Amino acid sequence: MLEKIHKKLKELVLDWLKELEIQHRYSENTVICYRRDLFDFFDFLNLHEGVMVDLDVLKNLKLVDFRAWLAHRSEKNLSARSNARALSSVRSFFYYLAKLKFIDTKVIDSVHRSKLSKLLPKPIPEDNIIKFLNQEFYFENDPLWVTNRDRALYTLLYSTGLRINEALSICTKDIESEMKIRGKGKKDRIVLLLPITLERIKTYIHTCPYDLREGFLFLGVKGKKLCASVVDVRLKKLQILNNLPEHSSAHAFRHSFATHLVQKGADLRSVQELLGHESLESTQIYTDVDDYNLLKIYEKTHPLENE
């Protein structure tokens, strides 16, 4: 895609991506998404304008051009949420150019994204998750150490609210009752491990056939770092066997951790710190989940509902 844009613009794109990673401390995956969205925009302009994209092309864009791009994306059955994220990516690059005084942002600021429906996190019910964590085994043909690994990992996810990639990046030598975790934006936070979590991790370590002392804690059957995709594939297969809801995934353990804490009366500031959220607004969605659950209980149990 870089060959379809002018050399000067290419240099600016690379500098912008570097700024996102270094100064804004965006994760590698986030930077990849921003890059993909911007190149999708350039690809559209290349076809739409019929010329190589350069700064002059971007300066002369009209509101109708942005709307045409978003309409083009919608025709490809991309969701409103995906379009909103892509627009944010392109807007970020335009703001970067504006900061360097190459263009102004008046036109792109006038592009309004579609109103998004609020997606509430979907936790796994408490009874389901406790029963699941205490299973004797997960798959009959698995070696004992794999069962111990999975139980330790699932317990860790539910008891700490770690993101799956955070959990899989833990090294064995760092395991303590209080651990420093590097999360999104390369920001560190302290995570507390409950005694049962530590016990299950130690059981896994003692039964694992590989030397875990100097490397990652969670390994796959071939002795390499366990992949998040493998975790989710295994969970997908375990849904029916363990009466887990369809949305069960590694990330659902994080949602369950936060939702169940809020339901038990934990204050939002504490949950925010535990999750590693930058703003309280990100954490407040879990109060919405609790309110939603309360409303469903009310609808099912109030005497007038049965009239």
Residue 121 to residue 134: CA distance in whole angstroms: 24
Lowest mean pLDDT among 14-18, 141-145, 246-250, 298-302: 298-302
Where do the CATH 1.10.443.10 domains begin and end in the chain? Answer: 126-300
Say what the pLDDT of residue 185 is.
66
Q: Which of 218, 225, 215, 213 is nearest to 200 (CA)?
A: 218
pLDDT band at 306, cuts 50/70/90? very low
Distances (CA, A) of 149 to 60, 97, 102: 57, 48, 53
With b meaning 16 or more CB within 10 Å and e meaning fewer, what string describes 168-177?
bbbebeebee
Residue 145's pLDDT band, with cuts at 50, 70 and 90, is very high
When the candidates are 1.10.10.10, 1.20.1290.10, 2.40.30.10, 1.10.150.130, the CATH number that belongs to 2-109 is 1.10.150.130
| pLDDT for 115 | 56
Rounded CA Rg of the chain: 24
Measured distance CA(252)–CA(289) in Å, rounded? 13
Instruction: Return the active site residues.
Output: 163, 184, 251, 254, 277, 286
DSSP count for the chain of H helices, then E strands: 14, 2
Tens-place pLDDT, residues 169-227: 999 998 988 888 887 766 778 888 999 999 999 999 999 999 998 899 999 999 999 99
Q: Which residues of 196-206 are buried (b: 16+ CB within 10 A; e: fewer)?
A: ebbebbebbbe
Look at residue 113 and tell me whether its pLDDT is greater than 90.
no
pLDDT at 286: 63
**How far is Cα 25 from Cα 138, in angstroms, rounded to an integer?**
38
Is residue 1 within 8 A of residue 39, CB to CB? The reply is yes
CATH 1.10.443.10 fits 126-300, yes or no: yes
pLDDT of residue 13: 92
Task: Specify the domain boundaries for CATH 1.10.150.130 within the chain.
Answer: 2-109
What pLDDT was estimated at residue 96?
Answer: 93
Q: What is the pLDDT of residue 257?
A: 86
Phi, psi of 219 (to 5 degrees): -115, 155
Which pTM value belongs to this model?
0.60
- Whether residue 3 is predicted with pLDDT greater than 70 in this model: the reply is no
- pLDDT bracket for residue 31 (50, 70, 90): confident
Q: Tell me the DSSP string of 125-167.
A: PHHHHHHHHT-S-SSTTS-HHHHHHHHHHHHHHHHH---HHHH
| Predicted local confidence at residue 140, as pLDDT | 85
